[in-house]
Amino acid sequence: MTYPTIALASSSPRRRELLTQLGVNYELVKADIDETPFNNESAVHYVQRLALAKARAGLARLSVELPVLGADTIVVVDGNILGKPASFAEFKLSMQLLSGRSHQVMTAVALVSHTRQLQQLVCTDVYFRVLSETEISHYWHSGEPQDKAGGYGIQGLAAKFIQRINGSYTGVVGLPLCETEQMLRQWQELE
């Protein structure tokens, strides 16, 4: 299957790697948006809104006509979104919330042009084993958690904390490949 060439509205190296894994030709486009949640906004609405906003922001910056892919990933525990930790104290609190229990990772993907849009939401349950204070501290000092939703990367050092997942591994990494590939196929069929 030959996929359409797209623009990727993301600065995530993990999303670039995953698109390359699919064999998709893409060019990068900046998509700076305000990621502040609205008052009383649900996690589902928030992640879908951001993915679509990133895709639309990327589309507005293009000088050529290409479909634009935007995505956003969040970590949710007890209905609360855990963002990228700004400090060790914030990170430690997130890890204590995740330790010894399950949480959800939601990744929304949007593919847009000036005339149409497709969206997908993928939710994955992730189960952490109990973490010690020492493990939490060592992980923070590795430098890995600082730019990650929820403060961890499943594809990195935090893999040893994860007992199991129920859902999409690549969705937790940042781009659910099965659903993204289906969106690209559907896009191609609509042309």
Strand ranges for 79-161 from DSSP E: 80-82, 102-112, 117-128
Sequence-distant (6+) residues with CB within 8 A of 9 are 29, 30, 31, 54, 55, 57, 58, 59, 68, 69, 70
Q: C-alpha angle with apex 95: 89 to 101, nearest 5 degrees? A: 155
| Cβ-contact 95, 125 below 8 angstroms | no
Number of neighbouring beta carbons within 10 Å of residue 87: 10
Angle of helix 177-190 relative to helix 13-22, nearest 10 degrees, comes to 60
Q: Would you call 125 a catalytic residue per the annotation?
A: no
Residues 116 and 93: their CA atoms lie apart, in Å, by 41
Q: What are phi and psi of 31, to 5 degrees?
A: -145, 70
Active-site entry in 32, 72, 125, 147: 72
Dihedral (C-alpha) 89, 98, 84, 30: value to the nearest 10 degrees? 170
Which residues are annotated as catalytic? 72
